[in-house]
Chains A and B, each alone.
Chain A
């Protein structure tokens, strides 16, 4: 056999070696830190680098198998096809269960290597424990890969043709969505490892906590981008014009996001004021546990969802055991050790600490609400209460209920001092802006062509956050003039919330849609736009046949854009995918999706006749993703604050920051 053909076996060997190295990386440093053996602890860093290199090898091998179309590898044969365009051969690597798990392991290993590289200033015991715990997580994922989900299994005899990548995933948005999401999920392993290390140690040093903060920020930023990309993809690919569906898998990624947002704020309190120590540790455990739970829910087939991967009880059981060890173990450690943490500085009822506590409780309640709604159908099934599905009305109502106080309190946070504040001061600073926001809301109520309440709420809420955040920035600039990256990041992220809020509520309120049958050449008017349907042509894509529609969009008689809504029938499997034709604009999208041809089913010229067409006008829909991008940007900007990387001073544990 030529050496190239041996590659998959090499990948398997690399994975097995990575598992051994991860075992070493977990066992020796953890034991060494406990016994104070420097030579054992010193294993952590080189082991982390070696593990990353080995997993990277395995990943490259799988990628090569896809690019070279090696259909003797079962995973490749099941998720690729000779017609698949080259770019999708690279991304098909994580198109299904085994490969996406390998991507998880790769990102985890890479993240570990980065922590190993940048942690040289930290005490040896801390580094050894943190890398050891990350090694334990790697052991779990690598053995899951090797024992239940091996991507390198051969197919004998080799398949002549592959089955093709799921057409839903043959899309640019899907190329980067999973890696972003995983960067977020996996990123929460760093605060988790630090939290567990602090629990083992029995105390939490503000210096180490300061060091972990950028990691949390970066993880949360990537998770935000990943979720936003998923939402954007659903918007243009599923053809319904919706951007969030409260689907179990969306919920699975949203739960760690909510807890991660709480963690960002709680870490700031603990780092600056020393309060909330136990709570911060608990949130760090929860954020990572929910990331694991998310992985579990998607992989195990426990819940039915559009994203479901093939269900295999052996896999489900494996992750369940892993999940219970990680979560159960860390919570047990928490119950035993957290009471030992010293308390931080006391604070008054009116203080920034109280406001951040409220922020945390609201975000965590929202997460609990999502968790309950996601698992409730399973619970009802287990207790024989009948089949119940929990839909958008439950989530929408409770989420708005919990987020309203958060929006109302948000501008007060940055303007309220730590420890003690006279409530009248921030109130006086914000009162004029609150009135202005209210006035804008009232104006919006009367100006809105439809959905006045939602419009008013969106405008007022968004203006309130925007103005309140602006008030904070102005105070800082006028006052000391010191505006750290941490503050810039916060301002950006809070602005992102304002932008998101405006987008979400305005598109809900002002969305105009119409489903109708259109003849070629016919023109329809909707909300000031004219749509001229120019018919549908059959065209040939690389691995699909497409009904490509042409719709000329006009405004005031002038042509604005030519839209191409599409229906693609993929060659293998015959799955039909919708591609909406979208004229995107900052203040609204015009969205056209193609339905079915309406001629008789046996008419050969059916495609040339009438078509069902769905038209949407979606004002401000881009603001949803723009807001998410701003939140992510804010998280990244905060992470570069030099303060987090400053050489830790010796007596730094109770340093105060205004």
Chain B
């Protein structure tokens, strides 16, 4: 918005204003288009079909203990990236909790760029559905995973191959339509 107007006649100011307004509309139009896509945050992950990155990350509830990617082999697991700083994770959390309670697959939390106190408080408040919660305080391991935000969710199979990735909050449609069929496929192929 300009300073008190009216002194200058229409001209440059009007043209600049019009361009700004059009840019603003274009931005909102982009937003509207994006909002329709369920996977609006998605980028194809180059990791799919490839081994999950090697890692050794401390546990949130037991900071002294490191969990490595090797220890998690032999059964598939779901890795759910979250942080107490992430409002969308709060939306996802009840869905994730319900899914974890079905015990269909191991659900691990991946606490990204968070203060341990905040993360613990968050879990205390909203409940902890995770079998284990790995922590990645500086987000260094997240680079290997190609994680650029939260929530993101990975499915890793028994051999440690990344099978599936979802960016943004999970909902029941995605779980029923993508995740569960994939899990069945994995089990059938075993």
Contact = CB atoms under 8 A, between A and B. Distances in A.
B94 A575 contact: yes
Contacts of A286: 1
Interface in A349-363: 357, 360-361
B94 A339 contact: no
A381 B35 CA distance: 12
A336 interface: yes
A507 B90 CA distance: 26
A360 B3 CA distance: 9
Interface of A: 239, 247, 276-279, 282, 286, 296, 300-306, 308, 311-313, 316-317, 320, 323-324, 327-328, 331, 335-336, 338-339, 341, 343, 357, 360-361, 364, 368, 375, 378-379, 381-382, 386-387, 389, 391, 515, 573-576, 578, 593, 595-596, 612, 614
B94 A574 contact: yes
B31 interface: yes
Interface string B5-29: 1100110001001100100010111
Contacts of A596: 123-125, 127-128
A364 B1 contact: yes
A320 B127 contact: no
Contacts of A357: 4
Nearest to B15: A335
Contacts of B17: 331, 335
B180 to A, nearest CB: 19
A595 B124 contact: yes
Contact of A278 (B4, B18, B35, B125): B4
A368 B125 CA distance: 35
Contacts of A515: 117, 121, 124
A-B CB proximity, top 10 nearest = A313-B36, A278-B6, A302-B31, A316-B32, A595-B124, A301-B35, A279-B4, A311-B35, A612-B124, A335-B14
B114 interface: no
Given A304-B88, A574-B98, A279 B5 contact: yes
A482 to B, nearest CB: 30
Contact of A578 (B6, B21, B98, B125): B125
A573 to B, nearest CB: 7
Interface residues of B, number: 40
Nearest to A379: B27
B126 interface: yes
B174 interface: no
Contacts of B35: 300-302, 311, 313, 316
A389 B113 CA distance: 14
A338 to B, nearest CB: 6
A316 B25 CA distance: 12
Contacts of B10: 335-336, 339
B185 interface: no
A305 B169 CA distance: 12
B142 to A, nearest CB: 13
Contacts of A331: 17, 21
Given A375-B27, A595-B121, A338 B36 contact: no
B34 interface: yes
Contacts of A324: 25
Contacts of B36: 311-313, 316
Secondary structure of the B contact surface, majority rule: helix
B30 A382 contact: yes
Contacts of A336: 10
B1 A368 contact: yes
A164 to B, nearest CB: 13
B87 A387 contact: no
Contact of B90 (A306, A327, A614): A306
Nearest to A248: B87
Contacts of B127: 576, 596
B115 interface: no
Contact of B9 (A301, A339, A387): A339
Nearest to B28: A320
Contacts of B58: none
A361 B3 contact: yes
Contact of B87 (A306, A378, A381): A306
Contacts of B94: 573-576
A311 B41 CA distance: 14
Contacts of A320: 25, 28-29, 32
6 contacts: A247-B87, A312-B36, A324-B25, A375-B27, A578-B125, A593-B125
A231 to B, nearest CB: 17
A306 B91 CA distance: 7
A279 to B, nearest CB: 4
B30 A378 contact: yes
Given A576-B127, A578-B125, A596-B123, A341 B6 contact: yes
Given A312-B36, A386-B148, A596-B123, A339 B27 contact: no
B173 interface: no
Nearest to A247: B87
A296 B148 CA distance: 27
Interface string B59-76: 000000000000000000
Contact of B5 (A278, A296, A316, A328): A278
B149 interface: yes
Contacts of A303: 31
B102 interface: no
A209 B4 CA distance: 18
A568 B188 CA distance: 40
Nearest to A569: B127
A607 to B, nearest CB: 14
B125 A595 contact: yes
Nearest to A601: B128
B124 A387 contact: no
A279 B126 contact: no
B98 to A, nearest CB: 7
Given A278-B4, A576-B126, 17 more contacts: A277-B6, A286-B1, A312-B36, A316-B32, A316-B36, A323-B28, A328-B25, A335-B14, A335-B18, A360-B4, A379-B27, A515-B117, A574-B98, A593-B125, A595-B121, A595-B125, A596-B128
Contacts of A279: 4-6
A20 B3 CA distance: 40
Q: Which of A278, A302, A303, A317 has the most CB of B within 10 A?
A: A302
A316 B36 CA distance: 9
A302 B126 contact: no
A328 B25 CA distance: 10
Contacts of A573: 94
Nearest to A377: B31
Contact of A296 (B28, B87, B91, B117): B28
Contact of B27 (A247, A368, A382): A382
A475 B31 CA distance: 53
A338 B31 contact: no
B125 A239 contact: yes
B114 to A, nearest CB: 14
A387 B18 CA distance: 28
Contact of A327 (B14, B21, B27, B30): B21
